[in-house]
Amino acid sequence: MRRPTPRRWLQGCAGLAAITMVLAGCSSGSDTTGTDTTESTEGTETTETTGGEGAEPSGGSFSSQLGEPSFLAPTSQCYESECAQVLNTIYTGLLSIDPETQEQVLGVAESIDSPDGLVWTVKLKEGWTFHNGEPIDADSYIRGWNYAAYGPNATQTGFFFSPVEGYDDMQGEKPKAKELSGVKKVDDLTIEITLGEPFSQWPLSMSYTPPFAPMAKECLDDLKKCQDQPIGNGPYQIVGEWKHNDNITVERYEDYAGEEVANADEIVFKIYGDLATAFRDWQAGNIDITVPDPSQYKQAEALAGDRLVRVDSGAFAYTGFPLYMEEFQDVRIRQALSLAIDRETIDEKVYFGTRTPATDVIAPFVPGSRTDACEFCRYDPEEAKRLYDEAGGIPGDKITIWFNNDGGHELFMEAVANGWRNDLGLDYEFETQPFTPYLATLEKGEVTGPYRLGWGPDYPSPENYLDPVYGEGSTNYGQWSGPAHDKFLDLIEQGDAQSTVEDGIPFYQQAADVVLEEMVVIPMFFSETTIVYSENVDNVIYSPIGDIKLAQVTVN
């Protein structure tokens, strides 16, 4: 049975511009110090870091730019970059993924094993507590997972548990069960998870902390309070409550059980509605870490000097189609629109060389990505016009182009629209909204033309660039369906069922080929993330799966 796909993965308030710096890219340094020990598991390799021994925190306080989150409570509604940036400081996950080796780095988990990819055993380390003193044990994880998976709770992250036995019984208006039958407590520190079918990516999916975080009983008893003041187990704890559209402040948790050293005493997340304002505040010395708006890149380079970090990112920008509209159901129209985009020039003129024109729908840093997968991702205006005319064009030669207006996308979308007008004779108009209502419009199927969107991975697998975006869940905003979609789903299912992640890659590549042959979306760019930081801080390191490693930032 196909497992549902996520409702959405929010690519920051600014989308592709990586406003909250929680997209994927290549790290500029190691996440830990000291030595590593490696423990092999079936089909995976897990590294347990033991770094940090003897290290002393730098102390001090610094500020980092953030977009207004939608939610802060974990295991429920946090499936966007803004809340994940905060939760990654106040929670430590079961495991994480090393950005360079792709190995699994254990956090709260002592081990994660499976003999067959079907039944997984998670052993927890001793001595971990929540910030309120409650113990981190099997019960704390199971209560959070059951809450997230229970359909009537309408969580954003419940789909992560769809591979687990019993998930379907928890869905619908009248669920048959309130708990996952496939999740069993073996003892206080051991959990057994039985999946409905083998899934080699399971440990990778568990590395995405928000849905798999433990939940304190105090939090479950008062979710409204937990929304503004979550109770974590990480190196930092929240101070006071979330001051909406202003700031969120966290301070170092002195009784943290992990190896990671939290350097600063305090981190202040300053909330901004747009990148340009945040960068101007950085110029004025009012914020320490931020991302410049694309129009400010050259200025940022000149002003920041060696205090500018530019790293490859797993962020994937694309233009989707409302396939429920007749105008976009002919694949030749979609191919023509792709061929009429000069990605190289847009990268040079709009993004100053910080984008890589996409030739696949799987990011380059992920195993299985290819440089020649997309036949229609080149700029060929003559072929574009031929296909457009052959298909009969778009009625009235006019389209409406949609994008969110709070992420620095105006110049990018104008360049795309002007190319369509010059090469295809298409007149256009823009429809723009702030990011949150924009996503609601997409979910309701109310967009009436091509729409801009971006995707950032939860974990480094080709599956995570495919099933969540084009699968059966509501992230399939274009409402792709039909025989080709069925073929896509079957290939994803075959990839999932392989004994290792590597064995699944050929099936995921074939699934990507179906997306590209059908031109379900127009692949646009894989991006770099540009970060500037002040003289107040150092050791600003960016991780491919997640964000800036804020706990490692030192204050001068």
Q: What is the pLDDT of residues 6-49, one digit of tens each?
A: 333 333 333 333 323 222 222 222 232 222 222 333 333 333 33
Q: What is the pLDDT of residue 546?
A: 59
**What percentage of residues in the chain have a pLDDT greater than 90?**
65
Could you tell me where the beta strands, DSSP code E, fall in 207-358?
A: 236-238, 247-252, 266-271, 289-290, 308-320, 355-357
Q: What is the pLDDT of residue 73?
A: 81
Asked if pLDDT for residue 159 goes beyond 90, the answer is: no
Look over the chain and give the mean of its residue pLDDT values, rounded to a whole number.
Answer: 86
Q: What is the pLDDT of residue 56?
A: 81
Residue with tokens 């407590």: 185
Task: Summarize the confidence of residues 421-433 as an average pLDDT.
Answer: 97
Contact 456, 24 (CB under 8 A): yes
Q: CB under 8 Å to 220, separation ≥6 — which residues?
A: 143, 144, 147, 226
Task: Summarize the confidence of residues 360-385 as an average pLDDT.
Answer: 95
Asked if pLDDT for residue 469 goes beyond 60, the answer is: yes
**Left (φ > 0), alpha (ψ -120 to 50) or beta: where does 177 sit?**
beta
Chain length of the chain: 556
Q: CB under 8 Å to 163, separation ≥6 — which residues?
A: 3, 195, 196, 197, 199, 202
Q: What is the pLDDT of residue 428?
A: 97
- pLDDT band at residue 157, thresholds of 50, 70 and 90? confident
What single string gives the DSSP state of each residue in 177-202? -SS-TTEEEEETTEEEEEBSS--TTH
Q: What is the pLDDT of residue 520?
A: 98
Domains of the chain: 41-285 (3.40.190.10), 313-528 (3.10.105.10)
Q: What is the pLDDT of residues 209-268, one digit of tens each?
A: 888 999 999 999 998 899 889 999 999 999 988 999 999 999 999 999 998 789 999 999
Tokens of 264: 């600063």
pTM equals 0.77
Stretch (H or E) spanning 531: strand 521-533
Asked if pLDDT for residue 435 goes beyond 80, the answer is: yes
Helix or strand or coil: residue 300?
Answer: helix
Q: What is the pLDDT of residue 188?
A: 98
